Amino acid sequence: MKGENTMTVQTGEITIKPVSGRIGAEIKGVTLSGNLDSGSLHTLKQALAEYKVIFLKGQHHLDDKGQEEFATLLGEPYVHPTVPVKEKSNYIFELDSDSGARANHWHTDVTFAPEVPKYSILRAVIIPKVGGDTVWANTNTAYEELPENLKRLADQLWAIHTNEFDYAYTRSEDLPDDEARKRRRAIFESTIFKTRHPVVHVHAETGKKHLLLGGFAGRIEGFTTSASERLLSIFDDYVTRLENTVRWQWTEGDVAIWDNLATQHYAVADYDEHRVVRRVTVGKSVPVNVENEASSLIGKK
């Protein structure tokens, strides 16, 4: 797939400019708020369906409340199953590098639960002068590039996802001390989920096939540990090929919105300065495979 969406599109006063060949577009002419008009909201949703992740610069007016109010226009807020929201907020999930939070691992948000959030809205609050970019990958083009025999295999497979580790806190060198890691891990694993998801899910809105893997996918059902690891590595290689990604260099006031069920993402931990981003997730969907069989919770304790 060659990435045919390479032209800037003007819709009224809104400009949509692709920023890579297969995923991602910058949107201009929209000021995000809880009062966003229906036409602009429709344009954003169309852009999300086509480009998977969209970027809006200059949204400095947004605070936590404004971010939450805008996010609810895209769907019902999805509160993280184990991690408390940011203090004095309703739905904000904060990643603060001073607490050791550097999500430098490929992942799709909250796939350890059977109901996966649809959209994530991430706001840049404090950004290093250099570094701290985020990369997104298109999981549909990853699937489409698989050889036909591998597609047929992937269509039949199921993976077990769990939160028995936290991708944002697993690297000890990123943590200020062992106690911080222990506290965070205890919170993140306060309830352990194990969920059975199809390796290939059919997107509920677009009907396209996507690989559903990432950092919470621990093993492929029905395979030995070593065989499962090899299969996961093969599929992950297709997802994370550079041709299949877009990298965003943040400035404070930027907002990224992505289709969580059509992407994976990775926060690049190449900085020493303070970095704070705040996320709201909305909507939820239970993935289904090519035979319309749904994901299911297989363990919770």
Residue 247 lies inside a defined structural domain of this protein: yes
Task: Give the CATH number for residue 146.
Answer: 3.60.130.10
Predicted local confidence at residue 107, as pLDDT: 94
Predicted local confidence at residue 170, as pLDDT: 44
Is 161 one of the catalytic residues?
Answer: no
Residue 153 lies inside a defined structural domain of this protein: yes
- Residues 132, 270: Cα–Cα separation, whole Å: 6
Predicted local confidence at residue 189, as pLDDT: 60
Domain that holds residue 140: 82-300
Residue 260 lies inside a defined structural domain of this protein: yes
- Residues 69, 88: Cα–Cα separation, whole Å: 14
Is 105 one of the catalytic residues?
Answer: no
Q: Which amino acid is at 285?
A: S
* Length of the chain counted residue by residue: 301
Catalytic residue among 22, 107, 184, 203: 107
> Do 146 and 199 form a contact (C-beta atoms < 8 A)?
no
DSSP helix, strand, coil percent of the chain (3-state; round to 5): 25, 30, 45
Predicted local confidence at residue 81, as pLDDT: 81
Q: Over the chain (301 residues), what is each successive 10-residue block's mean pLDDT? A: 50 89 98 97 97 98 97 94 80 83 81 96 97 98 98 98 65 51 61 95 98 95 96 97 98 98 95 94 98 96 84
DSSP 167-231: TTT--GGGSS-HHHHHHHHHHHTSS-EEEEEESEEE-TTT--EEE--STTEEEETTS-HHHHHHH
Catalytic residue among 123, 161, 219, 265: 265
- Residues 60, 184: Cα–Cα separation, whole Å: 30
Is 274 one of the catalytic residues?
Answer: no
Predicted local confidence at residue 37, as pLDDT: 96
**Cβ-count burial 242-279 (b if 16+ within 10 Å, e if not):** eebbbebebeebbbbbbbbbbbbbbbebebeeebbbbb
Q: Which amino acid is at 147?
A: P
Bridge partners, residue 56, by sequence: 255
- Residues 257, 121: Cα–Cα separation, whole Å: 5
Question: Collapsing DSSP states into helix, strand and coil, what is residue 274?
Answer: coil
Given the structure tokens 């890579």, which residue do they identify? 20
| Number of domains into which the chain is organized | 1
Residue 53 lies inside a defined structural domain of this protein: no
Question: Collapsing DSSP states into helix, strand and coil, what is residue 63?
Answer: coil
Catalytic residue among 22, 64, 109, 201: 109
- Residues 177, 157: Cα–Cα separation, whole Å: 39
Residue 294 lies inside a defined structural domain of this protein: yes
Residue 21 lies inside a defined structural domain of this protein: no
Is 279 one of the catalytic residues?
Answer: yes
Residue 23 lies inside a defined structural domain of this protein: no
Residue 200 lies inside a defined structural domain of this protein: yes
